Structure 1
Amino acid sequence: DDQDWAQDDSIDTWMKTIINKLSEASDQAVKASALVLLEQLGSNDAPSALPPYPLTSRLATPVDSPVLAKVQKIPLVEYDLHALRTLRLNETDLPIYIPPNGKANLKAQDKDIFPLMTRVQEFLASERQVMLILGDSGAGKSTFNRHLEHHLWNEYKQGGDIPLFINLPSIREPEVDMIRKQLKMYDFSDDQIQELKQHRRFFLICDGYDESQQLINLHKPNQLNQPGQWNTKMVISCRSQYLGQNYRSRFIPQSSSHYGRTPAELFQEAVITPFSEDQVENYVEKFVEMQVPLGPWTTQDYMVRLTTIPHLMELVRNPFLLTLALEALPVVTAGEQDLSAINITRVQLYDTFVKRWFYANKKRLESSALSDQDRRTLDNLSDLDFVAMGINYAKKLATAIFDEQGRNPIVQYNPITDKGSWKNAFFCSDPEVRLLQEASPLRRTGSQFQFIHRSILEYFFSCTVFGPVSRDNFDDYDSQSDRDLTDTSILGPDNPLFKRNLLVEQSVVRFLSERVQQHQEFKSFLLDVIEQSKTDHTTTAATGATNAITILVKAGVTFHGADLREVWIPGADLSDGQFDSARFHEANLTDVNFARCWLRQAVFNGAKMEGIRFGELPYLDGSGHILAIAYSPDGKQLATGLYSGAIDIYDTVTRSQVRRLNAHDKSVFDIAYSPDGRRLVSVSGDKTVQIWDADSGERVSLMKEHEADVTSVAYSPCGKLIASVSSDSTMILWDSEKGEKAVVFAGTVDRVNRLS
């Protein structure tokens, strides 16, 4: 209808050409609409062919036009996947990143490392279904997961495996259909989700198993890789400290076939290792490059301080702590001449970082265009000490998260439905609340709020037990000034120390143990709490005493000769503590952990000791009086020699008896495995030396040259010789293959009790 437009014949021709092309589309709706338009335009015949437009390459897959997607014969679900890909690639905020290394499991040595990304890619190409990534708080698990997602989306091809990042704390009940819930968050329809479930495979990247407070195996209730269910491979991350000894059962998938791989063969794990010094330096280089404008310090300036200040390099091998250290070092070392005399702890890095964060955000707000009401509110907050007000806001929010959400770090806030809830006090539109929230170290994603790192949440919660009071003055900031600025008024009965078990919060306990080392008054307070439990046996007093003595032990406080009579500390973790000659008369030590403690001459008369642990490992119930014991070289078998003359063989994994050898007529005094683990030799009061096949239990050789009880036996390192000694001081060397004596040393040695 536009007359000016219609005067241009070339435009008219081109439009008809395009519509005619659309009339040939496979999509019936598009085709019908195009035919109607052609009829209205009076053009039932195709226009004259026009020369091709000189494009050298095909346009990229559309991200905002479903109609064009249909014309290009891209399935609608694939169009939405490409839209999700674009969203995630643009949305991902990738911080400074140094590719981490990993080791095979928690027991592996840090020297036996490999590039973590390479190992994950090998997992994705294998038949395994679940890979668990463990690491300490701040080790870089979430950062790695986001880089993995970014890499997989960059590699994505139409019809290929779909990477899906799932922040587990943000999903309600992730044990129930978590993939559907995540796709719903990206506006996929039920039909699309069903299509993806039936025809596509997902690479799941599940972040924050510990932060979602999970205790169950997510693979099983979500029925992953079961017939007719989701086809997946899962990478899932968790903090090492969150898990107990038998943690693998929470992650090993269920097998979908009785004849395929066992569940254990479908599982793999890796542990992120601390940064090497080279990785630290690479990180520092990138940190310096990102400073805008460039700061006064070079990479060398930072590295000199990191390597000179005692113990600092060990502390910053953790990426998050390294970031805090780089932010704090210019302040902490200002005016210091002797760097080797500076003592920096983890909690000091957090103290400095938090104060600088609030101070910088105060300056940002002061230079921003604010409404008159917001400007007056900011002035009032500044008069009251803006930094201290911000820290107080964050402490209260951390406490509320612990109390109201069971430590789930993500707060979902709706200003309408949550108007009367506890959340309103922290996220409402009140000017003071809003300014403090905007200045706090929080991250917002839509209606979800969380601290920028889990350890920041734990730091603020630890400050509610004991922490420094801030001064809003950074012109003359002294990193050591906090030791005289502690708010002792918080050490009252409302303190969280008395209200909750802190032992499940190892990071919080660590922050507080470092406070003990810095503040004598906090140490004295904790000792008083323990003393109070001697006469006050209420739950509140016992909780406080249990937390107090745990914190003191982790701080390295010794209790040699301490009077701990009648203390009430059920469930305390005293592992690695020093309690020589301590008196625990009549104390409540129920479920206390004394693993690796110094307890020489400690007295426990009358103490309650149900469930007490001294660090012993799981034990086997032997079926007789055991006189000898030996592990196979690979650690998979354990052999015991009995008073009855029998030998029992156990599987060390299942701790079950594999077989019994009715070996000797009299007591078995010693047993030993060959270096290759294929043979087992035993000696006895029946004067014999016997060799056994370790796998079948068949006797290989019986040797009778001794004339007295044979008391000890050992294999040579090469396995070709066996040495045995008897009570008459005769020692014989045997050819282990032939079962024949090689050399006899009769009466030439003193009495020998043990060979090795």
Structure 2
Amino acid sequence: MQEKRRCLGEQMWLTEIKEDTMRQDRIKWLVVEMVEAFIKDNTKTFTKIAEIVTLGPVMEREPYRKLLSSFIHDLDNSRILDINLLQGLAQLIQSASPGFLVSDDLINVLSFLRTRLEGTHQYSSEHLCHLTLAVSRILDVMADHKIQDLDRVLEHEPLSVVLSGLRGSSDPYLMYQACYAFQALQYVPDDETALQAVLGHSTGVVDILAKISSVMKLDLGSVLEGLEKLQEIAVSTIGIAGTVYEGAGSLLESGQEVLESLKEGLGSGWKKPWYPAVRAAYAFVQAGQLKDLKQLIVKAPCRQDPLFQWGVCQLLGEIAVDTVWAVAVRQQAIYLLGHLYREGQEWGCDESVKAWMLTILNNLGSISDQVINQYALALLQELDSGNTPRTQHPYPLRSRLPFPDSPPILTKVQDIPYMEYELHKLRMQRLKDVQLSIYIAPMAKANLQASDDEVHSLMDKFQEFLASDRQVMLILGDSGAGKSTFNKHLERRLWAEYKRGGPIPLFINLPALERPAKDLMGEQLREHNFSDRQIQELKRHRQFIVICDGYDESQLTVNLHNTNSFNTSRQWKVKLVISCRSQYLGQDYRDRFVPSTDGHYNHSGVELFQEVIIAPFSTEQIKDYVEQYVPLEPRTWRAQDYMDKLTTIPNLMDLVKNPFLLSLALEALPGVVEGKQDLSTIRITRARLYDTFVKHWTNVNKRRLQSNALSTADRIVYNELLDMGFVSKSIDYCTRLALAIFEQQDGNPIVHYIHDKNSWKAQFFGQDAEVRLLRDSSPLTRTGNLHRFLHRSMLEYFLSCAVFDPTLCSQGTFSLSPLSSSS
């Protein structure tokens, strides 16, 4: 009952895993981490080897080949043969998925094993047996037509000689393994393939080989038919009497007879049917078709051959000792051994086979599993009259190493956070956070000098950048032009399209970072709770699409691509997108963004740089925006009502080509036109839109300051302003400054905008009206950084207001229309 519950639990777990791709990926990642940990470990104990080779069937090609190379390297460099490594290597090779092995792998392993066989057989019987068993397993893989490049002169014949030389051993088990390995070698498709070797003896061989190869289809009838025809060909071609297959001779008595009876065939390279029959038996076991295995045992044409019987007995012993099988199945394997011993009329004619059965039972009686060892010992006591010596077989009965109860490698790596899962969590969080209620795809022009009519889709320009070799894309635009909105939409789109292992989108609000010039990536990833170890792994192995928002707000003047050494040796691999206000940059701004190329003179890589300017909204874009705006909440106005007001109020359409100002205008319009019949008279009340803008823009700057990295002094002043009323204090400052400008310039306020790399300045013709305000005790004037920030916001306010009645000059000089008395 307990075993049944365990099986049901495993089935439920497997079902869950099949439906959860993220958990599947975590398991794959854990396998890779375990391989890396094993390779780096200098103390490869039996437990660690048994643990890592168990993963062979579920490995992907790259980690499998790395592990295989590690095993081969360690064995090749060991002075004393490491039996555990040897067993692990054989098991790893047997578990290879199609296409994972190449010819050189197995040929090199065979060459190593042959050399060790030649050098150790005189000194260590146990080592010799393990080496021969490993050779058998490697040749089994090659005989399954996975590898076909074994050179007859360099490897095939020398290995045949070595194996044939083992016939002089007095160890019957070793003799069987040598004979098995020799037959496996005959079935390996060398440069004279199995097909070519047999074609001269029989027509229809292709059909026969097809039948034999149908073992992989696990059809019992086809297997038996193929073995029958192969047996007929072997008997008629080689001329071996049928009595040879009736078990003449005794390995137990002389240790030679069976091998001597096959002497001619052993030395000539003839293939014997018992080998593919044993391979078929193993295939049925691997597929879990134990009923077909029983039928094969009693119906195989070569069932009387002692070597076939030896192979089957060994297989049943391996099932009995293998904890992968249920206890009931293991007991059935032991029972079948006893049944064949007692009642098999065609079994045990050769005494060596019966002796081998008793040896297997004796070995099973010594294992730690009490249920199995007691079952085996009871059967042994029943079968053995006491005349057979109770010798303990020195070689373990196992086809694979047992998985340890306490896996040390898994314990070491399982607590390491899975990178792809961490990225999955970040992806889901960003998709949740980045929600845009309104989005109009912006258009862009090539540079500041290009006409507003020469525009293209900004997203198309980004896709061109992504597909090109360029490394930096600069997005410029006026305040409120939609740079941040596009950046957020771009991030969301990239996350929505993200594929595991692909480029990782990373949105960075530059003003929120303390050291963007030196640690842009690390600082942002730590904000997303990635550990330093994970950050280093991402740095080494992954590519990023980095979206830097607010270059101007962070007061940066450095080239982020160069200061962070992006896309250089052993550094971050990125495609860098940077947005900045057009007004922030001077005439030679490109040096801040164009990547430097390698070389002594550190030349600028203009070909790695792309620039775009966000264009003002067109009438169609304004209409699309309004149609998305109206359904967001209950309103009395329809989209057409808004469009009528926007087109009727003088100069208003020029203002709302800026997306941010469009949003403010739509919010203010119902109140502005309330009760007005003639919209053309609303010119004198436009100040209500300014008031709306000032309130909203002040709130925007309040939020920006909250997320920015302020100095201690600035943070104190900021908190003080919050207590006093941030919005009201800011509006009061801007209002009094506007009034001072108006008064100082005799009602004709002229503002000349000048960019200075350390601050934002407004020069007023006549006297500097700001001087009086700077003597004010307002908290705004006590710290330079905070004051410059709000000073810039005030300028943006004036720049926006100027659009209502523009008289702009090429040098950046413009007039401000007087506000109405209602302002």
Tell me which protein shows more strand as a share of its residues.
1
**TM-score, normalised via structure 2 length:** 0.42
Higher-Rg structure is 2
Task: With a CA cutoff of 8 Å and minimum separation of 6, indicate the structure with the bigger relative contact order.
Answer: 2
Name the structure with the higher helix share: 2
Q: Normalising to structure 1: TM-score of the pair?
A: 0.46
